[in-house]
Structure 1
């Protein structure tokens, strides 16, 4: 397990410096290599060796211009020519062009291309993946029949050359089919260990889950960066004070604490979840490589899929909102590009879309939970998830009978309070979502419409509450584990409780609606507890940031250097700007021509 952990550290460290650099490395060495390693066999080892030695540049081609998440609708086709033992790839029209492919615009030489496989008898066997050479590694010129290019400038991460590709009678060897889900025999007959086409499709796309798990880590890194900048700035920026002669750091203000410190707590909780979840993924991948066909392996795959489909949205949205809050909390200096908050915000933004639109992905998680709910209620089958994320659902009825019992803010400072509330919240939303779905099924003409009309206020909220509970439970267990240094446990437990209460406060309406909260007291004391925890953590905030912030060279923000010399560093950076003291090249024209307003 040591090697995967080192790899995670390497990618996240590169990302702290420049996510475009980290993403290019990750797409080549992990996404492409993972798709080939998990989807192929021994005959594809040469591609893995070339990737490992950085002899080729690569990625995967899944999305089309006209279809993103709807993989079933991919129209790129691969016809098997039995006479030459080759597949012939074709893009039927420009809407079928592979689009948004990272590394494809300028540098990719090979790609894993998803296409509909047709045997020589004209029968379609569904979506499969193929290794296709895109460019000549020595010249970077396109291979015959391949049209490839760059899609243009984006809102962020422009160091990644996202591109498009189309195929016109491109011939590839039969052996380039990644054959873990299906293969072609020497006689040209299609064979597969999956009888159900749906299972075959799921297995073919299963390798894509690693991208969502990795994005969780990417967004946590972004959250660490913006929180580090904003809290260091707030600890050194002085404005106003009790007297005219005394100015105090803005971090001393309750409003600034309330804006920033919950995001610091979120960074810690999400960081632990990201790292532990990554190791869960490694466990799954080891099982795949060892050809583990056990029921536990199957359930582990389903659980990781469900958690990644909610974890990616929650983490990317938290980083997105945190980046904006941190930018505003640094005032005008936060708007200066040299202080980097804008670049981090923009580079994080696509994480809300890559590997699946956040809102669409959440449906995968709610579908998983609704399936478990049916098993519990109808078939009396207990939840036995390998990672334990759904075990509490076995006490569904008992949990729903609970009520909020805390009477003071001090009682809420124990993390068991938000944990208990979250268990009730997930059970309540699961019951309500199931009822809503059944009602819609009675009205709708098909299951598609029923599920579509059960998302807002129901299934979407269910998925978010479930992943928030999972993250909180994991971090709670970590902060109470004997392996966690006793000297660190008090402050880490405060962070845990703050993250739980802060996240829970966004569900106040549902907690009152379902009857878990009654009267005005619960809402008030939770708000008071959040503020109290922010105040208690304020003096530790800089030390907590120092523990997660990279060196100044990597953080690369003048207002957030570890020495605390805010204005000295900012002034120095401004003066070192390009041509900052020079008059503009168009000075003569500006000085000699009369302004347009004067003519008017």
Structure 2
């Protein structure tokens, strides 16, 4: 049944102004308003509009061009904006907790405006705040209202100068002193300094610090989180024993102050240990409900999965913004034509431009659905943790989500990275202008490939999970099943390996069931190859560490990526083929699903041929023809599909990507509004000065 668009919905989703983009909008096979309501729902659309309107109507958020501001000014402005946001009603935590997707939407909407702002807010409220809420106990709840009122400002300090991914090797220590009932937080040397910590550089007053917990007898109980005050609340000067500072300019997100901290025997109360996974009695006895230290560490670092899932969504936002800019540009940019003296045609009409951009549009839709569904899975896991659910299903759900999150961050951030670059190049020279935002999107997305775990390292977590399934044999043999059913297809592991690509015609290839079946085979094949490679290494005398190390590049790494791509394809396929999809939206959604699946699969053609799933030249050619055919079918829908996911022009902030399609008018106006664009250079006398260049310049420097 089609959503009702009469009355209030027209105000919620107003028509776009007629202009150069109208031709494409009028040719769309569906209503963009109906698709937006189907995908988001009216309540979510209203929530997002509330956020966007608040930003646009508040003078503090007026666009000033972050690249023209000094770093110090940019950070001051960013802090003031953060402070203002926390005064708005949109931060009513009760409402956000009742609708978890609104939490995600809030961060994403702010990120569409400016990732420095979004990250600052996210780190303070959700990362710092949730670390206290989820890792602490009732005695720590006093901090939550202080966080929301900005009485304190927080950060999450795990990474050190010399250790990031290897969290077990973190070297900051926390020795318990029973005579004073205090922990002594200490950095043994500069390599143990907390580093890269967002908000720590200039702003944070408190940090959740991870340190190795030592008892009076010298026994180490591993990594635990502590609340440590690092700056005075009134002066923002460092607390005694704390050396804290800023790490300097980064490649992007310079409105966010990333910093470092060293601790010289800093004493904190015993109660400031976040004690959900382990506690210390006043006398100095360590107590925990976890028998296995690895389980306890995993529970205390559980927030990292939440961070990774959020980074997936952040990466998707960046990809959305880039394809919105590039496709609106491509629909209005005219170059060449069939005849030398004829009318030029939009570059979107060229097959090469469609092939470059439309698969990334499909990826934005597929990954967006996946990121939301995975976020809801994570919420269900965290709710179980809050209930102290210790069931086998809860434990298995945790392992499955960890595996999915560990591979989804690499897939999403790398897809966005490649997609933004393709969009930049597809916009030609205009895409290189900073004002059109593709450069800042590329720079702001880049850290997504690194923080919360290096992408290539994270993929080893996922491949390890899959290989571990082969080692679980019950009375009836190996069983493959999981709470989210992401590995259930492996129950048919031997039979799937015997399957082959048997698509008879191009038309039969235009459905996502085709790449879905191929991906199941590919994952089974890579799982077998990885298992055999590991076994071969061990038979050759390699230990576990060396065997795993030697099996990554051509086996375990592609296994993890293929498994996650399969999961994305499966979830989007099921979403677009479910009965509840309105009939008028089925065709376009299924084309997006098929295009994403086939385009992703095509990047594994060598493996498909090597393993025997493809044979003969027709298999590969059929997939390639299907990709081009789907691009052709989606070409007239591209602008409408962009309209569904694009934020308002004020937020998108790209002259060549504005919704009215007045490409050159908007670009010209933006150029003329740039600072000092028509002024002569202040160094103009040097043009005719008759003196040595080196001496003159040296005097000024």
CA distance in 1, matches of 2:693, 2:395: 72
After alignment, is 457-466 or 30-39 more displaced?
30-39
TM (norm. structure 1) is 0.98
Q: Hey, which bits of structure 1, 4+ residues long, moved more than 3 A?
A: 376-379, 593-597
TM (norm. structure 2) is 0.84
CA distance in 2, matches of 1:377, 1:80: 44
Equivalent residue number for residue 486 of structure 1? 583
Q: 2:238 aligns with which of 135, 139, 142?
A: 142
CA distance in 1, matches of 2:318, 2:358: 16
Pairing of 1:369-388 with structure 2 (within 5 A) = 369-375=466-472, 380-388=477-485
Q: 2:259 aligns with which of 163, 170, 190?
A: 163
1:399 aligns to what SS in structure 2?
helix
Q: 1:54 aligns with which of 137, 142, 150?
A: 150
Equivalent residue number for residue 554 of structure 2? 457
Structure 2: which 5+ residue stretches go unaligned? 1-96, 695-701
CA distance in 1, matches of 2:112, 2:158: 27
Is 2:669 the partner of 1:572?
A: yes
CA distance in 1, matches of 2:662, 2:233: 48
Pairing of 1:308-319 with structure 2 (within 5 A) = 308-319=405-416
CA distance in 2, matches of 1:103, 1:561: 33
Q: CA deviation at 1:471?
A: 0.4
Q: 1:132 aligns with which of 228, 239, 247?
A: 228
Pairing of 1:99-498 with structure 2 (within 5 A) = 99-243=195-339, 244-375=341-472, 380-498=477-595
CA distance in 1, matches of 2:554, 2:470: 18
* Cα pair distance change 1:442/1:377, threshold 3 Å: farther
1:592 aligns to what SS in structure 2?
coil
Equivalent residue number for residue 44 of structure 1? 140
Q: Is the 8 A contact 1:90 1:166 kept in 2?
A: yes
After alignment, is 554-563 or 200-209 more displaced?
200-209
Is 2:630 the partner of 1:537?
A: no
CA-to-aligned-CA distance 1:89-131 (integer Å, 9 cap, x gap): 1000000000000000000111110101011122111111101
Is 2:100 the partner of 1:4?
A: yes
Q: CA deviation at 1:484?
A: 2.4
Equivalent residue number for residue 681 of structure 2? 584
Q: Give the length in aligned residue pairs.
A: 597
CA distance in 2, matches of 1:564, 1:187: 70
Q: CA deviation at 1:378?
A: 9.6
CA-to-aligned-CA distance 1:44-98 (integer Å, 9 cap, x gap): 1011221122222112111110111111111100000100000001000000000
Q: CA deviation at 1:573?
A: 0.3
Q: CA deviation at 1:513?
A: 0.6
Equivalent residue number for residue 17 of structure 1? 113
CA distance in 1, matches of 2:586, 2:255: 40
2:402 aligns to what SS in structure 1?
helix
Q: CA deviation at 1:408?
A: 2.2
Q: 2:131 aligns with which of 30, 35, 52?
A: 35
Equivalent residue number for residue 523 of structure 1? 620
2:225 aligns to what SS in structure 1?
strand
* Cα pair distance change 1:245/1:221, threshold 3 Å: same
Equivalent residue number for residue 513 of structure 1? 610
Q: Is the 8 A contact 1:235 1:250 kept in 2?
A: yes
Q: Is the 8 A contact 2:171 2:212 kept in 1?
A: yes
Structure 1: which 5+ residue stretches go unaligned? none
Q: Is the 8 A contact 1:423 1:469 kept in 2?
A: yes
* Cα pair distance change 1:596/1:84, threshold 3 Å: closer
2:180 aligns to what SS in structure 1?
coil
CA distance in 1, matches of 2:593, 2:473: 30
Q: Is the 8 A contact 2:185 2:263 kept in 1?
A: yes
2:679 aligns to what SS in structure 1?
coil
Q: Aligned Cα RMSD in Å?
A: 1.4
CA distance in 1, matches of 2:98, 2:140: 25
Q: Is the 8 A contact 2:470 2:478 kept in 1?
A: no
CA distance in 2, matches of 1:153, 1:162: 9
CA-to-aligned-CA distance 1:333-386 (integer Å, 9 cap, x gap): 000000000000000001000111101100000000000122259972422211
Higher relative contact order (CA 8 A, sep 6+): 2
Q: CA deviation at 1:139?
A: 1.6
CA distance in 2, matches of 1:482, 1:39: 41
* Cα pair distance change 1:392/1:126, threshold 3 Å: same
CA distance in 1, matches of 2:374, 2:391: 21
Equivalent residue number for residue 646 of structure 2? 549
1:487 aligns to what SS in structure 2?
helix
CA distance in 2, matches of 1:201, 1:219: 27
